[in-house]
Amino acid sequence: MDIVGNCLLVHFWSSINFYCCASLSGTGKGGNSIWGKKFEDEFSEYLKHSVRGVVSMANNGPNTNGSQFFITYGKQPHLDMKYTVFGKVIDGLETLDELEKLPVNEKTYRPLNDVRIKDITIHANPFAL
């Protein structure tokens, strides 16, 4: 299933209310960062998981950011200062509505059909709106 403007599926955790994206390999391990290695967390008191559509780096602990990211379906304050926020969906939130409706495997929470990023638009300052 292609959903224009959002994510390539690798992981989906409906039980904790966010959508995670990763590598094209489909292994769930992600890929390299643009630096070719893991990179440090970048936290800000001003960038919180306070609304629907926050985009953050997925990680395996402190300073292990690579290429995986997730988009929140709602407020997730327990993620603050643990996951680097780097964006926010500012248009097309109806796509997140559609992602939430997808049927998933009951054990893995992975959607039964693949979802892929087809295109995106990057705003100069996604936090400005």
3-12, 61-70, 74-83, 120-129, range with the lowest pLDDT: 3-12
Q: Amino acid letter at 34?
A: I
* End-to-end C-alpha distance for the chain, whole angstroms: 29
The pLDDT score that the predictor gives to residue 1 is 40
- Res. 12 pLDDT band, cuts 50 70 90: very low
Q: What is the mean pLDDT of residues 82-93?
A: 88
pLDDT at 18 over 90: no
CA distance 11 to 110: 6
Q: Which helix (H) or strand (E) holds 20?
A: strand 18-21
Q: Amino acid letter at 48?
A: K
- Asked if 65 and 33 count as a contact pair (C-beta separation under 8 A), the reply is yes
- Res. 126 pLDDT band, cuts 50 70 90: low
* Mean pLDDT over each residue of the chain, to the nearest integer: 77
The pLDDT score that the predictor gives to residue 95 is 87
- Res. 67 pLDDT band, cuts 50 70 90: confident
Coil/strand/helix, residue 100: helix
- Res. 9 pLDDT band, cuts 50 70 90: very low
Domains in the chain (CATH in brackets) are 1-30+48-122 (2.40.100.10)
CA distance 107 to 68: 21
pLDDT at 76 over 90: yes
